[in-house]
Structure 1
Amino acid sequence: MSSLLAHVAAGLTLHFCRREQQAGRLHASMALPVMLAIAPDFDYFGIWFFHLRYVQRFTHSIFFCLLLSSLAYLFARRCWPSPSTRPGFWVLSLAAGSHLLLDMLVGRALPLLWPFVTTEFFLPLAFLPGASHTGMISYAFWRNLLIETCLLLPVLAAMLSLWRRWTLRTYLPEIVLVLAMWSGLVWAGGKMLAS
């Protein structure tokens, strides 16, 4: 599976892509896309605490993500009547769907069309290393997290800047700083892989 950091970053990116949101303004509604981006993994609570064994992880289906984002949208309309403070349905749906995309990018097979089709779909090539199940103190966990961060953060930042139509010249110092940090992370990741 993809890491918690990747899912949270995807949810935050979608929150900040909202057109009606004022730049730099934080609001309680930003928690909704983040929660939806990690929600398909909530079935782990059943596995960990109740020792449930699922035939298929139905929480990783398009149907489940659309159902959950619809409920979240109804909740948002009730809690935040002003459209400028609540995320739209498309933001919530994309946030939930981002989980499926990230999990497929690490090579996971998912029952995307459940309950209509039980076939699990997967990409033939894994683009991200994914979170290691060896624990937070293992080398593999931190190595994979570093690689995933180096690959995902520039993509999410570019997506945000394109969506918000930020001009390159206005944010040139920030872009240079982020590229320098990213280059350092890539270099450190390469050193870790070589050792």
Structure 2
Amino acid sequence: MNYQIFQLINGLAGRVDALDDAMEATAQWLIFAVFAVGAALVALAVRRRRYRQVALLGVALAVAFVASQVLAQLNGQLRPFQTHHVHQLIAHDNGVSLPSDHATAAFAIAFGVAVFLNRRWGAVLAVAAAAIGLARVWVGVHYPGDILAAAVIAAVATGAVWLVDKVHRRRSAASREA
């Protein structure tokens, strides 16, 4: 099923040059805008002395990164262009496909921003992350499952950090009351 969905999306590549150009740019360059917006939001949060939220965002990003690296080491799924005929629109090295590093970073920033800093900007960044993921499939360097795995990793990492923080704050409040 993963390959069939890949074929549906990647099969559209190579038909409209302007659309391919937009997807290539999205696949390669939109991640930098996500980083820039995330950095600006972190700077604003630091200026407002929201150090705890910034630290929690940093921990969530680190957890997502480590989890994605562990999954990549445990997984041997090759990139689509290594095993199938695809419309590969951007050059990419061979290697493990699952999960997408671009999508993991983009979704981790989006979800972390949404939970710890600003919901609206988090939603904007989540749309950008989804666009990056779609574009990575369009240009032939990832399967849809790679993008889904990246989103799940980011969501679980962010949720776990949020939950641990919530439990820690409740225990701290209970010990102060006792």
Report the TM-score range of the alignment, normalised by the length of the smaller protein. 0.3 to 0.5
Identify which of structures 1 and 2 has the higher relative contact order when contacts are C-alpha pairs closer than 8 Å and 6+ apart.
2
Query: TM-score normalized by structure 2?
Result: 0.36
